[in-house]
């Protein structure tokens, strides 16, 4: 048999570990693997590379993706993406396709599956907002990077008696903010699921400073928004443009928060936007293992004909989730986790 594999959407530490695992499992059993370059763009353009043991050796610890990625949407502007993709897969003799991606890439995979194309998805996103799996690979690495940054900001915050506003990624969900905030001992954490009131945030900081603390750490998701939109001039860094899946480019809420917190409280404030640093570089050991387990299971499922599925972590086991269910709704932050974080606010 011949499998196809592609990596789509934003890149994420662990993608190469998945590619390596799919290739090793499939070729080890006498099958072949075609890599499509730059996500769905590579399928549409029939841009391929033969993936062998030799071609995928040494890539386990490498960030990014050897296949490249893109946010190409095969159905954009009413295009019949399924027909174009099916034609290329048939020409290339692909028996099953393994798309590695988040909500958008796997949303395309679901649509292809509905149209009869054999697919097995692998859940990837640093945001950890895909349903059907307890965790996506890449999340653990992003949290570690953000936590390391918060630790560093702590010491300089303390030296200068400043409020540090740290913006992390998280478009719809505050998983990175909550985990890194808890791990880094944040004094306030603002997430997309809970629109915030900037005056309440300032009150938390005032209460903290009233007990003798002279500095604070505020962690904010890029997708967090003020409750009524008022009282905070949101300075989006994006130019309002959207990608092929209709997502606005986020980033910049920390700019507005820094200014507003300083204006309202009088505490000197500084902001840091971690941005794509969170997506770069080598995956943690946890993500290497998770990505490897996902890749091996995806190859097994694709070869066994368990199509229309997505590999998933359920507890400690790797399971197969229904692809349609996995992409139906984003997995938002667990309110119980946020309640734990709140114990330490102020």
In b/e form, how buried is each residue of 313-332, taking b as 16+ CB within 10 angstroms?
Answer: beeeebebbebbebbeebbe
Site for ligand F6P in 125-144 (CB under 6 A): 125-127
CA distance 120 to 106: 9
User: Binding to ligand F6P by residue 279, rule CB under 6 A?
Assistant: yes
Q: Pick between residue 18 and residue 23 the one whose CB is nearest to ligand F6P.
A: 18
User: Binding to ligand F6P by residue 39, rule CB under 6 A?
Assistant: no
Backbone angle region of 275, left / alpha / beta, with phi > 0 → left and psi within -120 to 50 → alpha: left
The footprint of ligand F6P on this chain (CB under 6 A) covers a number of residues equal to 12
Which of 205, 201, 208, 206 is closest to 225 using CA atoms?
A: 201
CA distance 5 to 91: 15
Q: How far is the CB of 238 from ligand F6P (least distance, A)?
A: 8
Site for ligand F6P in 1-30 (CB under 6 A): 10
Which of 7, 67, 88 is closest to 40 using CA atoms?
A: 7
Stretch near ligand F6P under the rule CB under 6 A, chosen from 37-45, 122-130, 143-151, 292-300 = 122-130
Which residue of 107, 121, 123, 170 would you call a contact of ligand F6P, by CB under 6 A? 170
Q: For tokens 């092929």, name the residue.
A: 244
Q: Which token pair is 115?
A: 């149209």
Stretch near ligand F6P under the rule CB under 6 A, chosen from 44-52, 149-157, 164-172, 320-328 = 164-172
127 is catalytic: yes
Which residue of 85, 220, 250, 261 would you call a contact of ligand F6P, by CB under 6 A? 250
Judged by the rule CB under 6 A, the positions of this chain that interact with ligand F6P are 10, 102, 125-127, 169-171, 222, 249-250, 279
Query: Catalytic residue positions?
Result: 127
């Amino acid at each position: 048999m011949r499998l196809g594999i592609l990596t789509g959407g934003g890149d994420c530490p662990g993608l190469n570990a998945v590619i390596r695992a799919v290739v090793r499992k499939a070729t080890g059993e006498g099958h072949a693997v075609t890599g499509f370059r730059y996500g769905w763009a590579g399928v549409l353009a029939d841009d391929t590379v033969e993936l062998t043991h030799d071609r995928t050796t040494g890539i386990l610890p490498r960030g990014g993706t050897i296949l490249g990625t893109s946010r190409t949407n095969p159905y954009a502007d009413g295009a019949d993406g399924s027909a174009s993709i099916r034609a290329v897969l048939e020409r290339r003799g692909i028996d099953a396709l393994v798309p590695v991606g988040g909500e958008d890439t796997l949303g395309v995979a679901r649509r292809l599956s509905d149209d009869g194309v054999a697919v097995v998805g692998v859940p990837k996103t640093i945001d950890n907002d895909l349903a059907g799996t307890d965790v996506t690979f890449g999340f653990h690495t992003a949290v570690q990077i953000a936590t390391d940054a918060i630790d560093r900001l702590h010491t300089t915050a303390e030296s200068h008696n400043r409020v540090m506003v740290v913006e992390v990624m998280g478009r719809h969900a505050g998983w990175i903010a909550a985990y890194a905030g808890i791990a880094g001992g944040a004094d306030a954490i603002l997430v997309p699921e809970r629109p915030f009131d900037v005056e309440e945030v300032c009150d938390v900081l005032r209460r903290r400073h009233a007990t003798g603390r002279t500095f604070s750490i505020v962690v904010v998701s890029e997708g967090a928004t003020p409750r009524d939109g008022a009282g905070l001039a949101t300075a989006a860094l994006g130019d309002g443009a959207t990608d092929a899946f209709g997502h606005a480019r986020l980033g910049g809420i920390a700019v507005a928060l820094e200014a507003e917190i300083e204006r309202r409280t009088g505490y000197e404030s500084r902001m840091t936007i971690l941005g794509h640093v969170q997506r770069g570089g080598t995956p943690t050991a946890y993500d290497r293992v998770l990505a490897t387990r996902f890749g091996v299971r995806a190859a097994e499922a694709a070869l066994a004909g368990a199509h229309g599925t997505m590999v998933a972590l359920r507890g400690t086991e790797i399971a197969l989730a229904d692809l349609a269910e996995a992409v139906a709704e984003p997995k938002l932050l667990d309110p119980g986790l946020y309640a734990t974080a709140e114990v330490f606010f102020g």
